[in-house]
């Protein structure tokens, strides 16, 4: 599975970081950091990734497959 992050749409609510702390974090400027940018989510983090996508209130995260 891969995730697309729309950084322009992200408002820094941080719900994705709560659902997938191994995948996402907010930096010191409250900007989203996606740790697997350009790569595939490891199988052990797929459930958390889907929970993070579903938790985003502005739909800034999307599953690519």
Q: What is the pLDDT of residue 46?
A: 97
Q: Provide the whole-model pTM.
A: 0.92
If you ran DSSP here, which 8-state letter would residue 31 be given?
-
If you ran DSSP here, which 8-state letter would residue 30 be given?
S
Q: Judge whether residue 65 has pLDDT over 90.
A: no
Tell me if 53 sits within 8 A of 10, measured CB to CB.
no
d(CA 24, CA 33): 6
Domains and their CATH numbers in the chain: 3-63 (3.30.70.20)
d(CA 14, CA 39): 21
pLDDT digits (tens, 9 = 90+) for 8-53: 999 999 999 999 999 999 999 999 999 999 999 999 999 999 999 9
């Amino acid at each position: 599975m891969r995730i697309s992050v729309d950084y322009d749409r992200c408002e820094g609510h941080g719900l994705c970081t709560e659902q997938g702390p191994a995948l996402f974090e907010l930096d010191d400027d409250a900007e989203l950091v996606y740790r697997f940018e350009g790569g595939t989510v490891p199988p052990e983090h797929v459930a958390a990734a889907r929970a993070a996508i579903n938790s985003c209130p502005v739909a800034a995260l999307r599953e690519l497959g």
